[in-house]
Structure 1
Amino acid sequence: MLRAIPSRRTGQPRYHFRRIVPALLRPLLGKTEISLVLHTSDKLVARERAAALYARTGQLFRAGKMQHPTKDDLLALYRDLIDSYEAALKAQEDSAAKVLEAERAQHLIEKADLVTKQSTFFNTVLPHMEGLLKGLGQLRHTLEKREVWAVTEKQGLQNQITTLCGLIQTSLPHNEDKPDGQKSSSKQPRSMKLSAAADKFVFSVSSKSAGTIKGTGKTVALFTEAFGDIPVHQITGDVVGEFYDLLSGLPTTHGKGKVTLPLRDAVREAEENGAELVSGKTVKNHFSRMSAIWSELVLRDLAPKNPWANWSFDLTQKTNRRAWSEDELRTLLTSKWLGRVFPERTYRGIVRIALYTGMRLGEICNLRNEDIEVLNGIPCFHIRPHTVEIDGKTREWSPKTSAGTRIVPIHSKLLEKGILEEFRNAGPYFFSELPISNFGVRGANFELIFSKHKRRLNLPTQVTFHSFRHLVSTVLRNQDSHIRELWIDDLLGHEATHKSQGTTQYTSAIYLQNLQRVVEAITYPDDIANW
């Protein structure tokens, strides 16, 4: 009847009610057992709720056996049972919240009363204590001028006066404890809100990349949803710890569907359903973005310390990314594209380039028409940092690493498919139909829609768009055509152990011929090659 299932996030037991449905009623209810979450980790509370449910389900079963209701009538009784159970739970939660609110109010009243009494006490004794201090000071002055006592006796009296002054000063209220009207007028430390800090140190900084701005925007939005746009001095270790727990309990699907549950609801539902949770790397990325903001705040004395630093994360990789298999590629390439944000031809063009170059998605989406060059008679993609003016806004982009700046010869299969004639246009970008996301990232929308398309085809999570890059690397390294590792690394833009060749070396006739040999070694079965 009562079942405890450990929480995947906290390890604490979460209790469930289970009861077998009588065989006679199973065809009517359409289930073999009734299972409900009790929404508690307290065993005593779980027993009370389970007992109430046992009584209600007993009534349901007796009605089904004795009154011979129709299927619709029995289902209506079952829905009534569920509704009444949920209403009772909500009433209990509301009652507990009211009790907690009342206890907090009582605590505040008692605290205010204590502060009032303390203030009255200090207002009464403060003048006397200050007068006593003044008298002791005068006594010290008199003692220093009198020659009546011996030196040792005088020193002893001075020490006693010093001790008494120290005791009185210790008993006096500090500046923050003084009653109204006696506080120092020193300026209180400034404190900006989180959104203002993010805008000042990230969103308004021209040197920040679009990816950094997008990621920081997501992190700040999650935090603000959970705690509000609060001043940075209120974001302490306790608050950061609670945010850590919330992030660690988020399902991997959060924010990826048409409807996104509120943060705390998503965590609760993921725990109840045993959903797959985000990786430790994702949590670490959120913390790194917030830590970068706090580094600036601490430097400017706008925050006393950085509560986002020195946290530990489970960086065990949950899913091992790998290359596409040939069967998975066939499933992907032969399926109908249902995306509406951009046309199918854009989807095909991007996937084809990934298949025959191993370029990163960001590199493909940010290709400009002027990046298509013919060097020593070889058509090439020139991947390099650049700046583009669009609608009065300046967009800066650069490859992921310094090795990402490179020349990639265009595969003969791409040229046969007429990719240059199909996509070259008068605008700045080669794939002109790709939209730019709200954070200014070209390709973010493509990656999201591609992932949805892949899930619709029930393809495994181990393969993503980045798997095209793994695929090209695997195909090339399995070739028996005397292709040097150095050339493969240079083609893919890997940070290799050898010294970088540099773009100047890339443009030499011999080196371009070697790179072209590498590119042309990328081959697939005919049905894939002819897609």
Structure 2
Amino acid sequence: MLIRLQSGFHFRRGIPVRFRPALGKREIWHSLETLDRNLARTRACAMYGLTSQLFECISLAMSSSEETSSLNKAVETFQEALATSDLHPVQQDLFQSIVETYDSEIQALKARYKTMNAEHLLARMEDHQRVSSVLEKIGPEINALTDIIHKQENPREPRTKRRHQSRVPDRNTQSHSADNRAVFEMLRSLSSKVEGRKVSGAYCFLFPLHSDKGKSA
């Protein structure tokens, strides 16, 4: 769900009841850090996909744990019944082989779950390294862009003083135009660096600059 507050748009999604004990909360609430509705929708879609993947991982972990636990209990119960029964030795050997087969299946299930969990953690680490590399490349441009925007929003001279000045604002106008050109060049540089890089996971919506490239031009 997309919610707009004074601070900007927020993403909100309720957590299924059976997942709430694992996550320790009833809903997911995350700031999208924008006042633009179209950009907020794009980021909300990405957040929805990520939360769906999270619920799938939790469901897989819970189902694997429950299935393994039930199989372990069944094997233990069967072994106790087998030890106290008066079966023929041949029948006992047959049932014992069945128990061993179930035990091997349980061990295989545990190994498969550990492998899937390791692959998931490895994918998240690769995503983190990929995004860190992109941030390292565009970090100086972002800092410079922030300085330019801050300079435009906070001019050195107060407005009351500039009202009483004679027609010198031509230099200010030229400086303002130069700052605008610098902002445009910075955005185009950022867009060229980010464009073509495939950033997955939770960071896919942090770099929307290349989608607005045509608008800036």
Q: For this structure pair, what is the TM-score category when the shorter chain's length is used for normalisation?
A: 0.3 to 0.5
How high is the TM-score relative to the length of structure 2? 0.34
Query: 1 or 2 for the larger relative contact order (CA 8 Å, sep ≥6)?
Result: 2
Higher helix share: 2
How high is the TM-score relative to the length of structure 1? 0.15
